[in-house]
A and B are shown apart, each in its own frame.
Chain A
């Protein structure tokens, strides 16, 4: 059967060059979104090749097809149920054994497969020679050696892929386990074959023996006898081997992977220590590692922020000019004001705040990840981050949060499980961003005293620590310690990094900008309609009674949703019209105590609208709203307590 449209999925471990191959194949014809209802990224693209339109799906980088993470579940469901015409398994030739472990699992899923033996250059550097013809014979699937970063073998890979599809689905042979296990797989397969399932029979039998929760649950619903029998058979294997059945199967699978790897590769390790090993040693050194890390991170962040700040300022000035032109053209009628203040300013906020920081941040993040340095930072920082229930990897987004929460939220995708992503995202939104720092330093630092500003930062750290721990304990799912591959250092592929940045940015703009614009339009509309005073009045019990702040702060706190530094500017304007003074020191009823409470509340009360948009994009509406409302409530509680404590100290 010849069809014009075929679907090919890319699967493989993390950091094997999968995304480089994906970008070579799809070029600019790609789309990055999320898997439906999931917080996992889905990259799709199209390629025209030999008269076919080929849809390429880049599956998440994973090490196994069990149920450890949502990525693993998504990948195996996709391969088993959606049945792509072909799976290209991208394999890192320089770490063959571990990669083949995954290949074997793909074979068990009975997916038609072509293996891209990637990073052949790296393997060569490590003194590894691989007989790919022999590997092909042993796996029963075409193997194409590639060096994705230099495009070597990509054309041949696609030729082999199309050829495999045209020859019709060739079921790979699968692997044979030890006799005790094999006999029981056969027995169970017979029972399973009577059921109607979207998965291969043998695979289901193996998963049942492994005690796979998802498959077991499904089978139990269909026929409890089978799941009962599976448990009995698994117990028998346990009795023979003295390890759990799942352990026995995984270990045998690894043994087979190891055997294949040993048969097809020859290793002649070089006698002198290569550069990348020396670099690894020094960057993970127990003393030297830290100053190096501090220097790298600080200079990268400095670069991000100076670029962001400069561009942001430049754009602001530019839009300022536009504003005067706009006013001279359309006047300051209500409608014109509404359109400018509501729609265009929302757009400007998005462009001037998010983008200047996002672009360099994405570039830096992908650079760190691709080169391998990110995992070294995680290695060094894991212990510290563990105190708040996070991994070392979360250090980068957390640090970045001090600049802007938006990229920090988006950066949390580097965390491995959904639980960790949510936790990291939550913690990151509590970090005071640059705009919050403007308020902390500009109000408390300038008018109350520097030590008070410092105290606020410390309080914030304490809050992060406490809430992080609480969330860590409360979140469902199993907490996992760190276990992470530290792949060899390598030069990142610039083109891939730029493309990755570009498509994520595009996705963010599509997702976040409508939200930012609608948000600012609503607030502007309320202002134009004179609703703000009423809202401030309604908020009186909270702002005046509970927090002890002047009533008009209610208005500024609403505006702070758009951009946090607006609270300070608005406050200044409102005080000016109310009391005729633009100096915070002379405002009646707004002394040091109120300043501290106000800043504390602003610091904690809500992620700004761009951050909320990022939250929605990464975590979905429900969680985004939950985090938002939780933080509002939390800020109010903390603010009220702080107010009373400050009263007690006689401030």
Chain B
């Protein structure tokens, strides 16, 4: 089942399928290059296994575990990460 990372519940895990570039970004060629590159540099690459630990209240960031480390990621960014949910 495919879901956005932002839709995963605490405790759920999955494998990243893809990261969507920023839709309304104005740059010519590199569509949201910096954003996507940043996520990938932090280890959120396609194929990486990811577990949601919890999310901050009031639609705050999400705490995830990826590649043995703990990250906080903003909800806006989490929306652009497509994940195949593991049962």
**A98 and B73 contacting across the interface, CB-CB below 8 Å:** no
A306 to B71, CA, bound (A): 35
Q: Across the interface, which residues of B come within 8 angstroms of A286, CB to CB? A: 54, 56-57
Nearest-neighbour CB distance to chain B for A315, whole angstroms, equals 41
A375 within 8 A of B: yes
**A482 and B74 contacting across the interface, CB-CB below 8 Å:** yes
Q: Across the interface, which residues of B come within 8 angstroms of A375, CB to CB? A: 72
Q: Across the interface, which residues of B come within 8 angstroms of A67, CB to CB? A: 34, 37
- Given A254-B43, A379-B60, A380-B60: A482 and B37 within 8 A (CB)? no
Considering only CB atoms, which chain A residue lies closest to B38 in the complex?
A: A68
1/0 per residue, CB under 8 A from B, across A65-102: the answer is 01110000000000000000000000000011110010
- Given A247-B19, A481-B77: A379 and B56 within 8 A (CB)? yes
- Segment of A4-12, A159-167, A484-492 in the binding face: A484-492
**A378 and B42 contacting across the interface, CB-CB below 8 Å:** no
1/0 per residue, CB under 8 A from B, across A128-170: the answer is 0000000000000000000000000000000000000000000
A246 within 8 A of B: yes
**A251 and B72 contacting across the interface, CB-CB below 8 Å:** no
1/0 per residue, CB under 8 A from B, across A242-279: the answer is 01101100110011001001000000000000000000
Of the candidates B30, B36, B59, B74, the one whose C-beta lies within 8 Å of that of A247 is B36
Nearest-neighbour CB distance to chain B for A150, whole angstroms, equals 23
Interface centre among B27, B54, B72, B77 (most CB of A within 10 A): B72
Of the candidates B33, B40, B69, B70, the one whose C-beta lies within 8 Å of that of A251 is B40
Considering only CB atoms, which chain B residue lies closest to A99 in the complex?
A: B69
**A379 and B72 contacting across the interface, CB-CB below 8 Å:** yes
1/0 per residue, CB under 8 A from B, across A438-460: the answer is 00000000000000000000000
**A482 and B77 contacting across the interface, CB-CB below 8 Å:** yes
A478 to B76, CA, bound (A): 14
Of the candidates B18, B36, B46, B68, the one whose C-beta lies within 8 Å of that of A261 is B68
Q: Across the interface, which residues of A come within 8 angstroms of B76, CB to CB? A: 481
A67 to B36, CA, bound (A): 12
Nearest-neighbour CB distance to chain A for B12, whole angstroms, equals 17
**B56 and A382 contacting across the interface, CB-CB below 8 Å:** yes
A386 within 8 A of B: yes
Tally of A-B residue pairs with Cβ under 8 A? 128
Q: Across the interface, which residues of B come within 8 angstroms of A247, CB to CB? A: 19, 36, 40, 45-46
Q: Across the interface, which residues of B come within 8 angstroms of A258, CB to CB? A: 67
Within 8 A of A (CB), among B26-70: 27, 30, 32-43, 45-48, 54, 56-61, 63, 67-70
Within 8 A of B (CB), among A101-116: 101
**A284 and B43 contacting across the interface, CB-CB below 8 Å:** no
Of the candidates A98, A243, A483, A487, the one whose C-beta lies within 8 Å of that of B77 is A483
Of the candidates B30, B46, B61, the one whose C-beta lies within 8 Å of that of A213 is B30
Considering only CB atoms, which chain A residue lies closest to B22 in the complex?
A: A478
A68 to B58, CA, bound (A): 28
**A378 and B72 contacting across the interface, CB-CB below 8 Å:** yes
Considering only CB atoms, which chain B residue lies closest to A92 in the complex?
A: B69
Total B residues in contact with A, Cβ cutoff 8 Å: 39
A481 to B74, CA, bound (A): 6
A63 within 8 A of B: yes
Within 8 A of B (CB), among A523-553: none
Q: Across the interface, which residues of B come within 8 angstroms of A287, CB to CB? A: 57
Q: Across the interface, which residues of A come within 8 angstroms of B57, CB to CB? A: 286-287
Q: Across the interface, which residues of A come within 8 angstroms of B42, CB to CB? A: 63, 98, 483, 485
**A98 and B74 contacting across the interface, CB-CB below 8 Å:** no
**B72 and A483 contacting across the interface, CB-CB below 8 Å:** yes
- Given A246-B40, A250-B41, A379-B61: A480 and B35 within 8 A (CB)? yes
**B69 and A98 contacting across the interface, CB-CB below 8 Å:** yes
Nearest-neighbour CB distance to chain A for B25, whole angstroms, equals 8
A483 to B47, CA, bound (A): 19
**B56 and A250 contacting across the interface, CB-CB below 8 Å:** no
Nearest-neighbour CB distance to chain B for A11, whole angstroms, equals 15
Interface centre among B54, B57, B69 (most CB of A within 10 A): B69
Of the candidates A243, A254, A486, the one whose C-beta lies within 8 Å of that of B67 is A254
Of the candidates A211, A380, A483, the one whose C-beta lies within 8 Å of that of B73 is A483
**B40 and A386 contacting across the interface, CB-CB below 8 Å:** no
A64 within 8 A of B: yes
A34 within 8 A of B: no
**A383 and B61 contacting across the interface, CB-CB below 8 Å:** yes
**B38 and A254 contacting across the interface, CB-CB below 8 Å:** no
Q: Across the interface, which residues of B come within 8 angstroms of A478, CB to CB? A: 25, 27, 32, 34-35
**B72 and A482 contacting across the interface, CB-CB below 8 Å:** yes
Q: Across the interface, which residues of A come within 8 angstroms of B71, CB to CB? A: 483-486
Q: Across the interface, which residues of A come within 8 angstroms of B27, CB to CB? A: 478
**A66 and B47 contacting across the interface, CB-CB below 8 Å:** no
A139 to B42, CA, bound (A): 21
Within 8 A of B (CB), among A468-487: 478, 480-487
- Given A68-B34, A68-B38, A243-B46: A482 and B69 within 8 A (CB)? no
A392 within 8 A of B: yes
A247 to B39, CA, bound (A): 10
A384 to B59, CA, bound (A): 10
Q: Across the interface, which residues of B come within 8 angstroms of A380, CB to CB? A: 56, 60
1/0 per residue, CB under 8 A from B, across A374-400: the answer is 010011101110100000100000000
Q: Which 3 A-B pairs have the closest CB atoms?
A: A481-B74, A64-B41, A251-B45
Interface residues in chain B, defined as those with a beta carbon under 8 Å from any beta carbon in chain A: 18-19, 25, 27, 30, 32-43, 45-48, 54, 56-61, 63, 67-74, 76-77
Given A63-B42, A247-B45, A382-B56; 20 other pairs, CB 8 A cutoff? A95-B68, A213-B33, A247-B46, A254-B45, A284-B54, A286-B54, A379-B56, A380-B56, A382-B72, A383-B56, A383-B60, A384-B58, A386-B74, A478-B27, A480-B38, A482-B74, A482-B77, A483-B73, A483-B74, A485-B72
16 contacts between A and B (CB under 8 A): A66-B37, A68-B37, A96-B68, A97-B43, A247-B45, A251-B46, A254-B48, A254-B67, A258-B67, A284-B63, A379-B56, A383-B58, A480-B35, A483-B39, A483-B42, A484-B72
Interface residues in chain A, defined as those with a beta carbon under 8 Å from any beta carbon in chain B: 63-64, 66-68, 95-98, 101, 211, 213, 243-244, 246-247, 250-251, 254-255, 258, 261, 284, 286-287, 375, 378-380, 382-384, 386, 392, 478, 480-488
